[in-house]
Each structure stands twice: as structure tokens, then as C-alpha cells.
Amino acid sequence: MLTKKWFKTVAMIMLLCLICIACSNDKNKSSDREEEPVVVILDESSKKEEKVKKETSKDSNTTYKYTDYKVNLKIDPEKRTFEGIEKVNFTNKTEDYFETILFNLYLNAYQSNSQVKPYTLESEDKIYRDGFDEGYIEIESVLINNTEAAFNQSETFLELLLQEPVSPEEEIEITIQFKGKVPKASHEIGANDKVMWMGNFLPVLAVYDEDGWSRYSYYPIGDSFYTRISNYSVTVTTPKDYTVVGTGEETEQENEKEKVTTIEAKMVRDFALAVSNQFNVETREVQDGININLYYTSKMGVDGENVLETAEKTLKLYGEILGSYPYTELDIIEGTLYNSSGAEYSALVVADYKVLRGISSQEIIAHLVGHQWFYGVVGSNPVKEPWLDEAIVTYLTNYIFYSDEEIERLMQNKRREINKNIGVLRVTRLNSELRDFSTWESYYNIHYYRGEIMLHALRKRMGDEKFREFLKKYYERYAYKIANKEAFMEVAEEVYDSSLKMFFYQWMDAEKLPKF
């Protein structure tokens, strides 16, 4: 006869079986998810994004919350002046108590009395073709939670002095009133007689990491912009006949005299805009409904078809290797840059007129666009580890213009050239910083070309399939975060399934580059 005890035992066994089956199904589903391609997420509130935030590795990315910037600007393009109010919703997502908060004021490097110059003395005449013209941003007042706050403005920094420390998890609203001027200069921030381009001109929070607030100069060699992913809502008022193009999606409203352009940008590394009343526009819609917009002021000579085609090829390549372009627009602005090159910002790049006319190489367009993935989506510290974005973008640009056989020959030639000249270079290691360099040539040789050659060697060591798997995993893991060389090496070893310590030492620090 079957007892109640027997029934209870059978029921318990059946319950345990059901639990095991459910767990097995969950595990299978989890495994399937891991094999899905990279999906770029722009919805901060999504459950998947929250899951990614919680599972990040042990660094300052783990608890970071995206900062919101809300800005009202009024620009006088004739005088190249602006005034505005910026509201910053900031949450202390560290374990430290903040007695000060630091902002970068990059535009102040262009002041007449600045001790920090964002260019070498040798290039000054090329940058200021009509003579020196000052640029600056002046902070007029600061409020914290609607209460007046003390601050120090010094060179390219704004330091807020807090009456009460900001404790962990505390959220505050910072209101900054400012005015400024854009220099007539052929540089990353500048203007000519037709257009004004303004990258990283707003007060922006410095990065707080394991070393505290990052306090870096605007160096004359390399890129000094080190920022975290944030959200921007920017309203720009200009005279009616001017067009404003910025990082994000623009909407316009007009009255009899003025135009108000509102720009919304979600999860971007930085914010830039351009202003002109002489823009010509060519647009190409590409895969996934993304619009590539070319804004130029030259009346003739611009090879818009070639520029747009190169940009489209770049979006396609990076989309296939890493993950889709995360924004709805990519704006290419014609500017004047003393080195006939360009400057990259989130969803917007500035290219010298020679590039747009085909006088300079179209590889520059591909390089600028490639930075949307490395520098933009995957952040790094460009002051301490410049190669971490420059070398990757430089190497992947080769995929657009050359066959595998041509890339192999190109890398062999570059390796021989570096080894030939390395004896006369003052700085030879990839483990070097911007402050170590005094010339662009030496900087390019190390952080672009030595880094590029190392990536080619890594590809040969891993094989094409593993190398692409590594790039995709690295991109997916550090999208919208800040990576470092340890993170790069860790993912490489994880995919390769073996130690690469000696490999990275030889290619990063050895006096001579080894053979492939």
C-alpha cells in the first residue's frame, strides 16, 4: 500500500527534476545570447543595458551613470562669440566624498596669455594665417542646487569648491553661466570667413578615475580630449540665415530675425557643432537608415561623391567587424586645418578642404569616421595611451583600401622603416604618453605605426577568425566605457586562450620590432 510519505517523496523528486530542466533551458538561452552579434544600445533604461552595467570588470566604469548636460546657447557668428547657461545633472557614483569637482575648459588654451598651447610654436603661423586671434571661455557664475558656489578658473580648468562634500550616490545639479569666443584659427576648434567649428568648447566634467580627477593639459601633440559618455540637449539661437549642425539630431524653429536649433544627443563621448550661412549639403542614406551629411562651403572642387562613398564604406566595414554605427546621422564638415587633416567628434567630423577636394588622401576620411568606434563608443585615455584608439583605427583603415596581400607588404615595409629609424627617435615605446613627444613625426611613428604593426602581428599570431572575434569582443565589452591596455591585452589572451605577455612586451617595448 502506498503511503503519504511515499507520495511526498515522489512529488519532491518531480519538483527537483522540473527545477533542473528549467535551469538547463535558462543556461541554453544564455549561451544563445552570448553568440548574438553586437547590438548597440542607446536606451539607457533598457534591462539589457542595466545588465551590462552590473557585469563590467573591476574599474571605474562599473558604477558610472551617464551625466546629462542641458545647454542654452546664443551665438553671434559675425563676431564668433557665444554666451550660454549649462545645467549638469551629476551623480557621485564612486565611494569617495567630493570636496571639489573639476571641469575642462579646453577653449582657454587659445587665450593670448595662456601658458598651455594646443600646438607647437613651429605651426603657429599656419594656424593663425591672418595673425593671432584669441579664443576663450569665461565662467560668470556657478550654482549648485540653485545656491551660489565658489569656483576657481585657471587655464583650462574650472574647479568647483563645495561647501558640503558630495557623498556617494548623491545627485546634484550644477548650473554654469559662461561666455566666450571662437578663434579664427585652422585648428581643432576654429573658424574661417565662412564657417565656425566648435568641438569640446563647452565646460565638460573631467574624468574621475583611480587617480582622482584627471587634470591633463591641452597638449600640442596628439589628442587631449578625455571624457565619459554623456547625454546632451543643446538649444542654439543664431541669426535666421545661419545653419547649425551638431552632434545629434537637429530640429529648427524660426521667427522674423532668429533661428532656434535644438540638438539632442544620447550617449555620446563629446559634443561639437558647426555654424555657417554658406553651407552646401549633400546627403547619402545608407544601410539602417543612417544619413551621411556632407556640409561644405567651397563653391567648387569638392568631390562629394567620393567623400560620401568612403564614409559609407567605413561604416559598412566597422559595422561588419564590430557592430552597427549607433547614431542616426554622421556629419562631415568642411573646415580649414593647418595640417590638411581633420578632427573627430561624436557623430561629427571636421575635414580640411584639401581632403574634401581629393588633394589629401581619402584615407583621412576613413580614419576620422573610424574614430566613431574607437574614441567614440569605446573610450580610452588618449593622453596616457594614445595608441589604444589611433593604432586600431589606422590598422582597420587598411582593410578599406588594400587587399590582404597589399596589407602584408605595407606592414613589412613599415616594420623595416621603423627599425631603421628607431635609433634616432627619442621616444620608441608604445608605453609612452603625449607629454613625452615634441614632434608630430615621432608621435605618428610610435602610436600610429608601431601600434598598427603590432596589431598586424597580433592578427598573424591569432589568425583572421580569432583576430576578428577578439576585436568584436573587446568592442562589445567596453562599448560606452573607458578601456585601457590591460583590458585590451586581457581580452586578447581570453580569445587566444594562451598568454600573450611576451608578445606584447616585444611589440610594445622592445628596442627593435621582431619579425612577424
Average of per-residue pLDDT values in the chain: 90
Least confident residue range of 31-35, 45-49, 156-160: 31-35
Q: CB atoms < 10 A from the CB of 16, how many? A: 10
Of the pLDDT bands very low, low, confident and very high (cuts 50, 70, 90), residue 54 is very low
**pLDDT at site 360:** 82
Which three-class secondary structure string do you get for 356-411? HCCCCCCHHHHHHHHCCCECCCEECCCCCCCHHHHHHHHHHHHHHHCCHHHHHHHH
Sequence-distant (≥ 6) Cβ neighbours of residue 450 within 8 angstroms: 387, 391, 418, 428, 430, 507, 513
pLDDT for res 48? 37
The helix (run of H) or strand (run of E) holding residue 415 is helix 404-421
> 287 or 392: whose pLDDT is higher?
392
pLDDT category, 65, cuts 50, 70, 90? confident
Residue 62: pLDDT above 70? Answer: no
The pLDDT value given to residue 53: 37
- With a pLDDT cut of 70, the percent of the chain lying above it is 88
DSSP notation for 107-141: GGGGSTT-S--SS-GGGHHHHSTTS----EEEEEE
Confidence check: pLDDT of 57 > 60: no
Give the pLDDT band of residue 351 (cuts 50, 70, 90): very high
pLDDT at 61: 58
The pLDDT value given to residue 27: 39
Percent of the chain with pLDDT over 90: 84
Given a cut of 70, is residue 50 above it in pLDDT? no
What's the confidence (pLDDT) of residue 172?
A: 97
Q: Residue 116: what pLDDT?
A: 87
393-409 residue pLDDT tens: 999 999 999 999 999 99
pLDDT > 50? residue 22: no
- Edge-to-edge order in the sheet of strand 150-154: 150-154, 157-166, 98-104, 204-205
| Mean pLDDT, range 349-363, rounded to an integer | 93
* Cα–Cα distance measured from residue 109 to residue 182, given in angstroms and rounded to the nearest whole number: 11
pLDDT number for residue 31: 36
- Rounded to two decimals, what is the model's pTM? 0.88
Does residue 56 have a pLDDT over 50? no
- Tell me the mean pLDDT in the region 425-429: 94
